Amino acid sequence: MKLKKKIVLLSINIDSMKTISSFLFSFFCFSMFSQTTLTTAMNFYSNTIDGQYFDLFETLDDGQHVLVDFFYVDCVPCQAMAPSLQSAYERYGCNNADVFFLSVNLNDNSSQITQFENAYGVHIPVIEGAADGYLINLLYDIQSYPSTVLIAPDRSILNQTINPFSSGVDAAMTSAGVSQNQAACSFATSVPLIKVFSDLKIFVNASNLQVNLTQYENNITTFEIFDLLGKRILKTQKLLFKGNQYIALNIADVPAGNYLLKVSDQKGSDQSLKFQVQ
């Protein structure tokens, strides 16, 4: 997993941003008008809510098309489209083939997005609106929701929106030269049907690694610390209950250096973060 400091590259005039910001929220959620006004992609990079680093131009330069789904959780057409989006993600290889699927949220936080995913059965990488997603929506001048934008490796925007998505996505992919490849999903990291936790954050002090997360149901959670050579330094399991959780892991005997914390549960959710012991 490629982890970097979450940052987003944008070129927006501040006055223009204010104008777009006030205008953006005035739109109705009518998918028949949804689109970006751009014809050439502009770069952005950020972390998804699962900690995966994504850089648009890096992905395009690797030869993949990119399908970006712009949405927010209370948008009824977005909710209706979610199963079709998940189905297309799987038909076209779970991001391991010719196209990379990414959702960019407008203004919701990771907890709200996780609840949306669990309720409507969509599990593709998503950038949080409360973090960088809002600015990316502004950058792409999204007119209404949902908007599904297909971008070619040469950075041209092939489809300013695919509408209706359920019946139009296969035609858009065929026109772009992208083939279905459901077998590629077998190479994907297993994605849990239900996320059990999110909002993982860590803080280091002299003797403890403080781990904060939001638990969506009671579950036994495993905490593992590895050095950068893959050697496991610590493993412990805890029964966590639904709600915000604060766990202290004793690292008093861990030597100075760089490490990886992996948090996983019995249903297949897992997330990793790097940290440093001084």
Tens-digit pLDDT profile for residues 2-59: 333 333 444 334 344 433 443 343 344 443 444 899 999 999 988 888 877 889 999 9
Residue 58: both structure tokens together? 């890096």
Contact between 140 and 149 (Cβ < 8 Å): yes
Sheet holding 219-227, edge to edge: 232-240, 219-227, 257-265, 270-277
The whole-angstrom separation of Cα 275 and Cα 278 is 10
Pairing of strands 197-204, 126-127: unpaired
Mean residue pLDDT across the chain: 83
What percent of the chain is modeled with pLDDT above 70? 83
Residue 77 has pLDDT above 90, yes or no: yes
Q: Find the distance separating the first CA and the last CA of the chain, reported in whole Å.
A: 24
Task: Output the pLDDT for position 192.
Answer: 44
196 band by pLDDT with thresholds 50, 70 and 90: low
Tens of pLDDT, residue by residue over 165-185, are 999 999 999 999 999 998 888
195 band by pLDDT with thresholds 50, 70 and 90: low
Residue 180 is classified by DSSP as P
Task: Output the pLDDT for position 213.
Answer: 85
| CATH class of the region 14-187 | alpha beta
Q: Report the alpha-carbon angle 125-269-44, nearest 5.
A: 20
Task: Output the pLDDT for position 275.
Answer: 87
CATH 2.60.40.2550 residue ranges of the chain are: 197-277
Contact between 166 and 84 (Cβ < 8 Å): yes
| CATH class of the region 197-277 | mainly beta
Of 12-21, 125-134, 242-251, the poorest mean pLDDT is in: 12-21
CATH 3.40.30.10 residue ranges of the chain are: 14-187
